[in-house]
Amino acid sequence: MNFTSSEESAREVGILVDHVIVNDDVAIKDLKKRRGVGGTIFVQKIAGAKAEHMEKLDEVKRTAEKVITNVRSMGVALTPCVVPALGKPTFTIGEDEIELGIGIHGEPGVQRSKMMTSKEIAEYLTRNIASDLNISTEDQLAVMVQGMGGTSNMEKFIFYKDVRNQIESLGAKVRSSFIGEYTPSMEMVGLQLTILKLDDELGNLLEEPTEAPGWHMWS
């Protein structure tokens, strides 16, 4: 609603504007209802890099849509968060439970499970993403592991190691790695895994330098 209103306001003052819809959340099986989650970061970075080359709007949009076609995400949480405007946790969960398929704004997941190890969670998320994205042995990937606000760096790096092991067991190659906080949900303890299939165009744009303070690329 807000994006549409902003787009209409821009057009009224003569600004050339267009939009894309990110739908990378594999936790939701209905393609028409999928949310944009961690994949929005890759869309913004790559489209921004394309715009820095002074490309026309339709070319920037084409590149953004190419990212959307090739990116998938899924998240997990051990605790809820408290949205300031709401003033209470967005959901309740037991100490021995985890929430699978969370959103990036504190939304609950689509499935609840008993506690799993980092390796088990990595296997579950990677398997769901790889199946939906049709990852093959020839694919080069960008992998993003981001915390949801309350996850320590040590936990993120341990989880990344487990994800990378899963990807390499599929025969695919990790070209770029991103570990940090990109779209956190306040104090939520959890993780979001995002995988992007790369070609030369997307890989080069993704790896172009940026002064954005929250951008962390490890390889």
CA distance 118 to 116: 7
Contacts 24+ apart (CB under 8 A), 111-119: 111/27, 115/78, 118/155, 118/158, 118/159, 118/162, 119/162
150 contacts 79 by C-beta, under 8 angstroms:
yes
Give the residue carrying structure tokens 């030369």: 200
CB burial readout 16-46, b (16+ within 10 A) else e: eeeebebbbbbbbeeeeebbbbbbbbbbebb
Could you say which of 19, 53, 105, 216 is catalytic?
105
Please confirm, yes or no, whether 105 is among the known catalytic residues.
Answer: yes
Task: Determine the residue type at 117.
Answer: T
Residues with catalytic function: 105
